[in-house]
């Protein structure tokens, strides 16, 4: 930075520079990423999105997504860290992963530099807003069977009514054996729904605030309407709640479930529809759960591609790690969330398995030398709701990876802010690799806000920057992203893993 004071002398009498030249030199200009794609890249971008849609359809819950990621990692030669033989050590090029209680995933490739020298980390989350069952959910009212629910994450209640829902769950039987259950995903499967009031009778309802007209207790799922029958009217008349009984009987026949099993089970309802191309030009993907499985998918594949084909790949310069966490949508609490010790423990284990003398201080130094992109989605500028956005700092569809220097609400409360030095390092890596990045502040000041897993990593001493894919209709049952942003995120994450020092 040459001059330390501002003088207008040159402007008064000196030589004039052309305005257009100045503009090109001084002003930021964001182009659409579609224009920069070669034919080959455009095809890769479409193929990447096709694989992404399959990923979304097969992993609609954190457990399903974690299992899917573990399978992809194993296929690429990653070994479950918890099954390593005793005394086994790790060296450059070794690939390991850990599943944290089947709900979050940590995967790493040991670099030429060991983990103690610091890691390059991508962190995303694989839980999404949804409708969970209460612990004693099944009841009957007016010859209809309902499942009572408790929603998970920040949802607009009314968006989840009158759409087809699918059941994804896990029941643990009395012997402790897990039984995954899915209803509503296969062609011919029944689906479920939350009913809403017809407009004809909704005059009072429509006059209420949107946050009130469907309350949390109003999100009950319609699950049956046919009564159990012994075929003997006299006997049937004496039975109570026969519709509920018929539902339970069917569940028992199919899965061995009794009412008590709901208490411990984890039953989640998610939209039953599949991921689709969106728009005449198929430039977008519309699907449930893209916050944050879009970034999780891009991050996982950036790791897999940096790792290269198993056996014959050269190790990366630094140790690289991909963390796919659970519970972000409810504040990252719990032993599968980013606030838990799971993340730190995994890095400590990597240090332990590569260093001859590994103490707690060495692990803390490894963390302090680490760099992380918190890969989470951003609110894309929506022309239909322009009043809450600041156009200068919003992210836009098709304009690449959105960098958020800080998160939080109000006066940046409850968020995380990247240090200038680190933000600049990431900017340079993206620029050098021709990965277009854009701004990503969440709306106008004091219009709301949010946080990601960045703050939990930052608490461990890691340098972190929030950086993700712009999404429309975030947290709704049908979120939308741009395929070129997904592909650009993948390229950006890959460049970061390979080049961050």
Closer residue to Mn ion (CB): 147 or 469: 469
**Minimum CB–partner distance for residue 274 and Mn ion (Å):** 21
Q: Does 268 bind Mn ion (CB under 5 A)?
A: no
Residue 270's CB is within 10 A of a number of other CB atoms, namely 22
- Rounded Cα distance, 347 and 115, in Å: 8
- The DSSP output letter for 342 is H
Closer residue to Mn ion (CB): 261 or 479: 479
Q: Does 376 bind Mn ion (CB under 5 A)?
A: yes
Cβ within 8 Å of residue 352, ≥6 positions away:
358
**Minimum CB–partner distance for residue 49 and Mn ion (Å):** 19
Closer residue to Mn ion (CB): 338 or 495: 338
**Minimum CB–partner distance for residue 232 and Mn ion (Å):** 53
**Minimum CB–partner distance for residue 25 and Mn ion (Å):** 37
Closer residue to Mn ion (CB): 289 or 492: 289
Query: Among the candidate windows 239-247, 287-295, 342-350, 393-401, which touches Mn ion by CB under 5 A?
Result: 287-295
**Contacting Mn ion (CB under 5 A), which of 292, 417, 485, 499?**
292
Query: Among the candidate windows 24-32, 134-142, 285-293, 396-404, which touches Mn ion by CB under 5 A?
Result: 285-293
Closer residue to Mn ion (CB): 220 or 291: 291
Closer residue to Mn ion (CB): 376 or 463: 376
Query: Do 96 and 231 contact (CB within 8 A), yes or no?
Result: no
Q: Does 291 bind Mn ion (CB under 5 A)?
A: yes
**Minimum CB–partner distance for residue 92 and Mn ion (Å):** 33
Nearest partner of 257 among 381, 383, 133, judged by Cα:
133
- Rounded Cα distance, 21 and 486, in Å: 33
Query: Among the candidate windows 141-149, 340-348, 375-383, 424-432, which touches Mn ion by CB under 5 A?
Result: 375-383
Token pair in block for residue 136: 């004693």
Q: Does 344 bind Mn ion (CB under 5 A)?
A: no
Applying CB under 5 A, the site for Mn ion has a residue count of: 3
Query: Among the candidate windows 131-139, 252-260, 368-376, 490-498, which touches Mn ion by CB under 5 A?
Result: 368-376
- The closest residue (CB) to Mn ion is 292
Token pair in block for residue 306: 């940096």
Q: Does 62 bind Mn ion (CB under 5 A)?
A: no
**Minimum CB–partner distance for residue 300 and Mn ion (Å):** 15
Nearest partner of 390 among 474, 454, 446, 465, judged by Cα:
446
**Minimum CB–partner distance for residue 68 and Mn ion (Å):** 18
Taking the alpha carbons of 480, 481, 483, 486 in that order, is the dihedral positive or negative? negative
Closer residue to Mn ion (CB): 351 or 380: 380
- Where are the extended beta strands (E) located within 153-201? 165-172, 178-183, 193-194
Q: Does 479 bind Mn ion (CB under 5 A)?
A: no
- The DSSP output letter for 198 is -
Cβ within 8 Å of residue 308, ≥6 positions away:
314
Q: Please spell the DSSP secondary structure of 410-472, one letter per residue.
A: TTTBT--B--HHHHHHHHHHHHHTT--EEE---SSTTS-EE--THHHHHHTT-EEEEEE-EEE
Residues that bind Mn ion (CB under 5 A): 291-292, 376
């Amino acid at each position: 930075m040459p001059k330390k004071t501002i003088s207008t002398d040159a402007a008064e009498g000196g030589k004039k520079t052309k305005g257009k030249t100045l503009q090109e030199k001084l002003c930021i200009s964001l182009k659409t990423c579609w224009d920069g794609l070669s034919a080959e890249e455009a095809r890769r971008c479409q193929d990447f999105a096709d694989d992404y849609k399959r990923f979304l359809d097969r992993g609609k819950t954190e457990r399903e997504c974690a299992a899917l990621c573990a399978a992809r990692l194993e296929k690429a030669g990653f070994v479950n860290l918890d099954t390593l033989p005793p005394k086994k050590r790790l060296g450059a090029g070794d690939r390991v992963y850990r599943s944290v209680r089947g709900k979050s995933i940590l995967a790493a490739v040991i670099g030429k530099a060991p983990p103690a020298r610091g890691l390059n980390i991508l962190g995303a989350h694989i839980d999404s807003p949804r409708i969970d069952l209460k612990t004693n959910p099944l009841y009957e009212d007016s010859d209809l069977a309902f499942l009572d629910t408790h929603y998970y994450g920040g949802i607009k209640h009314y968006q989840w009514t009158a759409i087809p829902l699918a059941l994804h769950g896990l029941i643990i039987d009395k012997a402790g054996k897990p039984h995954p259950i899915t209803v509503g995903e296969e062609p011919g499967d029944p689906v479920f729904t939350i009913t809403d009031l017809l407009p004809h009778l909704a005059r009072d309802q429509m006059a209420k605030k949107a946050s009130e007209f469907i309350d949390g207790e109003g999100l009950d799922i319609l699950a049956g309407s046919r009564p159990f029958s012994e075929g003997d009217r006299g006997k049937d008349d004496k039975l109570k709640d026969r519709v509920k009984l018929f539902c339970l009987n069917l569940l028992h026949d199919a899965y061995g479930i009794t009412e008590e099993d709901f208490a411990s089970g984890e039953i989640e309802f998610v939209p039953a529809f599949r991921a689709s191309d969106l728009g005449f030009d198929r430039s977008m993907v519309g699907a449930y759960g893209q916050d944050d499985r879009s970034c999780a998918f891009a991050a996982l594949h950036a790791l897999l591609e940096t790792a290269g084909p198993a056996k014959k790949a050269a190790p990366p310069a630094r140790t690289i790690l991909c963390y796919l966490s659970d519970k972000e949508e409810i504040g990252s609490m719990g032993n599968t969330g980013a606030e838990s010790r799971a993340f730190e423990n995994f890095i400590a284990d990597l240090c332990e398995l590569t260093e001859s003398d590994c103490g707690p201080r060495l692990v803390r130094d490894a963390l302090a030398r680490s760099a992380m992109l918190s890969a989470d989605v951003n609110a894309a500028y929506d022309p239909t709701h322009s009043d809450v956005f600041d156009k200068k700092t919003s992210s836009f569809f098709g304009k690449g990876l959105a960098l958020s220097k800080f998160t939080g609400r109000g006066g940046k409360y409850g968020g995380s802010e990247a240090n200038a030095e680190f933000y600049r390092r990431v900017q340079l890596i993206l620029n050098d690799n021709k990965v277009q990045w854009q701004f990503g502040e969440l709306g106008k000041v004091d219009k709301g806000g949010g946080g990601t897993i960045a703050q939990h990593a930052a608490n461990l001493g890691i340098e972190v920057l929030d950086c993700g894919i712009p999404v429309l209709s975030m947290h709704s049952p049908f979120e939308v992203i741009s395929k070129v942003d997904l592909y650009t995120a993948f390229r950006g994450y890959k460049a970061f893993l390979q080049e961050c020092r």
